[in-house]
Amino acid sequence: MEAPAPEAGAPPVISPLPRVHRGWRVFIFLTSAVLLTGVVAMLFADLLWRTGWSGSRTFLLVLFVILFLLAAIGCMTAIFGFVLRRLGDRRRITGLGDYRNQDISAASTAIIFPVYNESATRVCENLRATYESLERTGQGDRFDFFILSDSTNPDSWAEEEHRWCQLVRDLHALGRIYYRRRIHNTGKKSGNVSDFLKTWGRRYRYFVCCDADSVMRGDTLVDLVKLMEAHPPVGLIQTVPALINSESLFGRIQQFSNRLYAPIFITGLNFWAQSFGNYWGHNAIIRTEPFMQYCDLPQLPGRKPFGGQILSHDFVEAALLLKENWQVWLAYDLEGSYEESPQGLIENAQRDRRWCQGNLQHTMVLFARGFRSTSRLHLLLGIFGYLASPLWLMFLLTYNWMRWVHERSGLSEISVRGFIMHVNPTVHALIIFIICMCVLMLPKVLALLDLAVDRKRRREYGGQVRATASAVLETVFSTLHAPLQMLWHTQFVVTSLLGMSVNWSAQKREADGTTWGYALQRHWGHTVIGLGWGGLVFWLDRAAFWWFVPVVTGMVASIPLSVWTSRSTLGARARNAGLFLTPEETAPPAEINGLRDRLTMLEIKGETATRPVHSGLAAIILDPYVNAIHVSLLREKRLNPAYAAALEQLGVGTPEVRSLAEKMLREGPQKMPVAETRLVLSDADVVVWLHRQAWLRPPEKLAAWWQPAIRRYAR
Amino acid sequence: MDLSLESALTPPGAPADPPGSLAGRPLDEWNAAYAKVESYFQALRMRNKVLVGHLVIQVLRRAMQRALTEPQVPATQLAAEEMDHLVTGWFAQVLQEPAAGSSQMLSTRGRMALFLADMPGKWQDQFLRPGPWPEEFVKAMRETYLDAGPDFQLAKMTPRPLDLGPIATLTSFGRVPYLKMVVGWALFALLLVILFQMTHR
């Protein structure tokens, strides 16, 4: 299973690859977007000119050009994707040669699951689904699995260890599924992966990076390894994960749009990216050696938000591989790669908050010497994914400003005849609006057309009528959601640029979604802005008000929208009505079916329920098995010199830790800061001592907190 | 056959206890000790009440023997200590390890082996029972070690310096691969501006 390894610690020899030049595809693609933007920008400029030119009009035009260009790029991606899907695309990684007969017996692959305080039950069940699927291919022994924990919460730590051990026992997978927790989570996820590579990377020719919510089919994993073996210059292959397991209405809408629209978008993306693709951080296979040599990320100079550690590491890692002439491909037609998505508007925004800061930071590396132009394009599109929101807000505000100035001037509206279109200004504006709508809606229409000509896919989406109805409803929802995204993203961009952090209190969810109180806390600002803005526009320009109705409706209705779309009951009702169906719902693969069954069973047993605070700590100290697992793992950790040094640096083995442990017994863990708890739980000898003391001592020598914890075992 | 609780618990040769006490301690004290020992066996996922009851009695008998000579030690503590000795001693026999010297290591390894051999699911009746034990059980106990990771193959990863200098890039703009294409677009944009200017005077 081990790949022949070079001398320990020595960098492996990698022959430099020839520099491949980009072809005509980027030119054709981007030029078509620029041409479309140019024509529509002319129409818009003509409209603005009809009532006299001004500085604010120049600003409005610039904003329009940027925003329309972004929309045009999206539209062109969909058009190119649609055409290629209909005509057949041979320039894709799976079509570049016969890889299916490739022998992978000499290839060793690690499948890694970096986790950070996520539900250990979910992680282990996702891993189990992937593991079992891989075993069914008969190629399972070519792969090892690693849960790479960066968890800082002692309860998550305990839960992970216990669940991992149970999983290993249940699957008879000792020596196949491993667990490692870092002592310090330096460098976050990229540091976590880097630590794995420094410790075990040389054992594996490839590694597949998964997220905590990733599931991958066994045959897909085998195909990925075969593709890597068949194409030695390829450094990374990214799959396109399908969203699964959504229950809430919001989650199901996202899941549906991801599954319906992604095929044409990704085919279009592959058209211009080709071997200069991108990495999305998970569900991708990576050639270990070049990654180890070229992708350890440097610290960026300066202070936050742009300096320091690179937060969104994936784009930069792909750029670094491309810089060294390794190929990065999107295996967009490889099915069997899955992930989960946020189940509510607020959770979605929380995730966006993290991504926004990371993407904005990419400005620093946008002009890095040696990066390929396609990498810069990926980075730029990522940056504008968030920057577009404040630009859109500015566009709307500038328009309002122009109306305000006009109203205050007391002048009447006199317009001259347009140069390009000889129609009245209202019709002129309407034509531009219709073009903009076409550019925004065409991808959805093309996705539905693409579905219409594929009988099997049509059935998987519940039929053409239901899919079309779902797409219409999805469009209505997106229209209401977009203004909220605009406000949120603007807030994130501004706070990120100012180096501020946004305080998100813990999500208050009930069994069936977001609570009204939490929604009010998060959305009251949006509601007030929507009411104020709507009123202002109504007062300024009643005719323009109706154009603003979709924008302000989303804001005003944000609280009920957030609560209702987070409801799984509404998600189930939509499913029963045949709305937002996806292939994984109508014809789920065995892996997803099995995963759902197990999760339902665990839910019935109460094993997925949120546990009380300190329950993990109580398990480590009181539960004879969890304690033994924890201590065994701590002892094994000492074998790694880097971890042994880190433990020593932490203070493990000093008398102070024993004093803290005594305090824990006498005063209870609730009296101790988390850092002290972590320190105590990092000392194997102290944890063994705590186990004995907690069970040996009479009640009067223990804090009252321990009594109910001990009684919980007496069933 | 004498099935009374007292005969099961009272160590042989012990003096008769006054009413309300056992081995010189009040019954409540032994009740608390019973609960503690029972909790520990239940924490080991022993679910069979008969087996648990039998083992608790076994532990309490040993604790009561000590109670006569160590009157200052609480009954709960005596019972917990005896349970610890009993379990660790049994681990030493099953795992063929010396009982003395490294009882902490032995206890951890023993509990780990119980978990991996799935004692609660398959071998509850063998727990704390004197040998010989079924071969499969012994094998499962002795041969299962927790393996959290394969052998280390340590390596170094060093970040390569990244020249971020946008100015440097801008000064070498002539080498930008898409220069011609970008210039083409710029000319196209300029043409639009000129057209607009000319037609909107």
From A11, A203, A297, residue closest to B150, measured CB to CB: A203
What is the arithmetic mean of pLDDT over A209-226? 96
Could you tell me if B180 lies within 8 Å of chain A, comparing CB atoms?
A: no
Question: How much is the pLDDT for A280?
Answer: 96
In B, minimum Cα distance to A631 occurs at B108
User: Hey, are the CB atoms on B199 and A419 less than 8 Å from each other?
Assistant: yes
Hey, are the CB atoms on B164 and A367 less than 8 Å from each other? yes
CA distance A702 to chain B (A): 12
A456 touches chain B (CB under 8 A): no
Rounded distance between C-alpha atoms, residue A548 and residue A537, angstroms:
8
* A710 to chain B, closest Cα gap in Å: 7
CB–CB contact B148 A632 (8 Å): yes
CB contact under 8 A, B157 and A34: no
Q: Which residues of B132-158 are buried (b: 16+ CB within 10 A; e: fewer)?
A: ebeeebbebbeebebbbbbebbebebe
pLDDT number for residue A609 = 80
**Is the CB of residue A203 less than 8 Å from the CB of residue A108?**
yes
pLDDT digits (tens, 9 = 90+) for A256-289: 999 999 999 999 999 999 999 999 999 999 999 9
Identify all chain A residues contacting B81, using CB atoms and an 8 Å cutoff: 696
Per-residue model confidence as pLDDT tens digits over A615-658: 889 999 999 999 999 999 998 888 888 889 999 998 888 999 99
Q: Measured on CA atoms in the order B189, B191, B192, B193, is the torsion positive or negative?
A: positive
Give the tens place of pLDDT for each residue, B61-108. Answer: 999 988 888 888 888 889 999 998 899 999 999 888 876 656 678 888
Q: Pick the residue from chain A with its C-alpha nearest to B48.
A: A715
Residue A1 predicted with pLDDT over 50: no
The partner residue sitting opposite B115, judged by closest CB among A35, A165, A714, is: A165
Quote the CA–CA distance of A502 and A525 in Å, as a whole number: 14
Minimal Cα distance from A161: which residue of B? B148
Kindly report which listed range (A309-313, A369-373, B99-103, B125-129) carries the lowest average pLDDT score.
Answer: B99-103
Residues 364-423 of A with CB under 8 A from B: 364-370, 373, 419
Confirm if A91 and A44 have CB atoms less than 8 A apart: no
Using alpha carbons, list the distances in angstroms from residue A259 to A242, A262, A282, A358. Answer: 6, 6, 18, 26
The pLDDT of residue A203: 95
Average pLDDT estimate for A464-473: 97
Report whether pLDDT(A59) > 60.
Answer: yes
A206 phi, psi to nearest 5 deg: -135, 160
Measured at the CA of B73, the angle between CA B70 and CA B79, to 5 degrees, comes to 95
The residue of A696, A697, A711, A712 whose CB has the most chain B CBs within 10 angstroms, and thus the best one to mutate to test that interface, is A696
Confidence of residue A8 (pLDDT cuts 50, 70, 90): very low
| C-alpha separations of A88 from A80, A271, B118, B143 in Å | 11, 12, 54, 56
B156 to A198: CB separation less than 8 angstroms, yes or no: yes
Banded pLDDT at A416 (limits 50, 70, 90): confident
Residues 104-133 on B with a CB inside 8 Å of A are 104, 107-112, 114-116, 118
- The number of CA neighbours under 13 Å toward the Cβ of A96 is 18
Residue A7: per-residue pLDDT: 46
Provide the pLDDT for residue A83.
96
Residue A197 sits at the chain B interface (C-beta within 8 Å): yes
Binning pLDDT at 50, 70 and 90, where does residue B167 land? very low
Q: How confident is the model at residue A20 (pLDDT cuts 50, 70, 90)?
A: low
Q: pLDDT category, A447, cuts 50, 70, 90?
A: very high
Spell out which residues of chain B touch residue A68, defining contact as CB-CB under 8 Å: none
pLDDT at A9: 46
Mean pLDDT of the A24-28 span: 89
Nearest to A200 among B152, B169, B200 (CB): B152
Q: So what's the ipTM on this one?
A: 0.78
pLDDT band at B169 (very low <50, low <70, confident <90, very high): low
- Which positions in chain B touch A699 (Cβ < 8 Å)? 32, 76
Task: State whether A5 and B153 contact (CB < 8 Å).
Answer: yes
Query: Which pLDDT score is estimated for B8?
Result: 57
In B, residues 34-53, which contact A (CB 8 Å cutoff)? 35-36, 38-40, 42-45
Least confident of A113-122, B13-22, B165-174: B165-174
What pLDDT, on the 0 to 100 scale, is given for residue A4? 45
Measured between alpha carbons, how far is A393 from A485 in angstroms, rounded to an integer? 11
B38, closest residue in chain A (CA to CA): A714
Longest CA pairwise span in chain A (Å): 95
Whole-number Cα distances in Å, A431 to A68, A424, A435, A436, A533:
15, 11, 6, 9, 25
Mean pLDDT is lowest, of A22-31, A594-603, B165-174, for B165-174
pLDDT in tens, A602-618: 989 888 887 888 888 99
3-state SS, residue A308: strand
pLDDT band with cut points at 50, 70 and 90 for residue A541 = confident
Whether B172 has a pLDDT exceeding 60, the answer reads: no
3-state SS track over A249-292: HHHHHHHHHHHHHHHHHHHHHHHHHCCECCCCCCCEEEEHHHHH
pLDDT higher than threshold 80 for residue A237: yes
- Considering chain B, what is the average pLDDT of its residues? 80
pLDDT band at A142 (very low <50, low <70, confident <90, very high): very high
Assess A58–B contact: CB distance below 8 Å, yes or no.
no
Assign B13 a pLDDT band (cuts: 50, 70, 90): low
pLDDT at B171: 44
> Tokens standing for A449?
């057309």
Residues within 8 A of A (CB atoms), B 52-71 only: none
% of chain B surpassing 90 pLDDT: 16
Tell me the percentage of chain A whose pLDDT exceeds 70. 95
- When pLDDT is averaged across residues A504-530 and rounded to a whole number, the result is 81
Q: What are phi and psi of A180, to 5 degrees?
A: -145, 135
Across B36-60, average pLDDT: 91
In 10 A of CB A576, how many CB atoms? 8
Interchain CB distance below 8 Å, A296 and B158: yes
pLDDT tens, position by position, A677-700? 999 999 999 999 999 899 888 888
- B99 or A448, greater pLDDT: A448
- Looking at the complex, does the CB of residue A697 fall below 8 Å from at least one CB of chain B? yes
Residue of A nearest to B108 (CA): A628
Band (B1; pLDDT cuts 50, 70, 90):
very low
Q: Which residue of A has its CA nearest to B161?
A: A298
Tell me the C-alpha distance between A79 and A523, whole Å. Answer: 36
Is the model's pLDDT at A457 over the cut of 90? yes
How far apart CA B15 and CA A384 sit, in angstroms, is: 88
